[in-house]
Amino acid sequence: GFYPLGSCTMKHNPKINDELASLPGLALAHPLASDDLSQGALRVIWELQRLLAAITGFHTTTCQPSAGAQGEMTGLMLIRAWHRSRGDDQRDEVIVPDSSHGTNPATASMAGFRTVTIPSADDGGVDVDTLRAALGPRTAAVMLTNPSTLGLFERRVGELLEATHAAGALAYMDGANLNAIMGRFRPGEAGFDVMHFNTHKTFSTPHGGGGPGAGPVGVRAVLEPFLPAPRVI
């Protein structure tokens, strides 16, 4: 029943979901079909965008990224575009705690940022004092994973977000471990600015062994103008 992919927080995918994903109207839809011939698929995407926004407390979402890593890249490109729109071109650093999802430093580098790694505190959480010391006029974003790759919930999220925003930076949440906070914590309401979803981890999307991937991104209202186009609205 499990797909052969070892690096992710995989979970069992009910066979009924495989059957739904293989329905001819979805599986055989042509990517160049016109809008009027794609209303069913567009409705699925539109409804999923609304559901993800409601679940996480973000203003809106996009389902365009095709994988979690691509969702990360999209999120950082949104952050970069937002800073540049404000004439804030000197922000070229992204702070990544050592307990974050392993793809974060690579994504930040590919997006053109310099990665600044900060160590964890004695309790395994992000060291708030160390974060404050690392923040500055060159900080574009702070990338957090909650719960972290150590399997610990960040108990000082409020302080971390307050410090990040006070420095003029944006807060990115990695959605790799969203399973653990579903229904208990809404990142958008908490103050995160952008987050990617791994729908194959949290929502049982068929994935692995060469199967389809998806990496939707949720954003606060200030980032909506920079979402990739075309959009399903």
Distance CA 101, CA 107 (A): 11
Q: Write down the pLDDT at residue 19.
A: 85
Residues of the chain falling short of pLDDT 70: 1-13, 205-213
**DSSP 3-state of 126:** strand
Encoded amino acid at 74, one letter: T
Q: Write down the pLDDT at residue 5.
A: 44
Cα Rg, the chain, nearest whole Å = 18
Q: Tens digits of per-residue pLDDT, 20-65? A: 878 888 889 898 999 999 999 899 999 999 999 999 999 999 999 9
Q: Please state the pTM of the whole predicted model.
A: 0.89
Distance CA 71, CA 78 (A): 10
Cβ atoms 117, 147 nearer than 8 A: no
Q: Write down the pLDDT at residue 186.
A: 94
Token output for 48:
């999923």
Count other C-beta atoms under 10 Å from residue 122's C-beta.
6
CA distances from residue 129 to 150, 185, 219 in whole angstroms, order as listed: 20, 24, 27
Q: Write down the pLDDT at residue 53.
A: 96
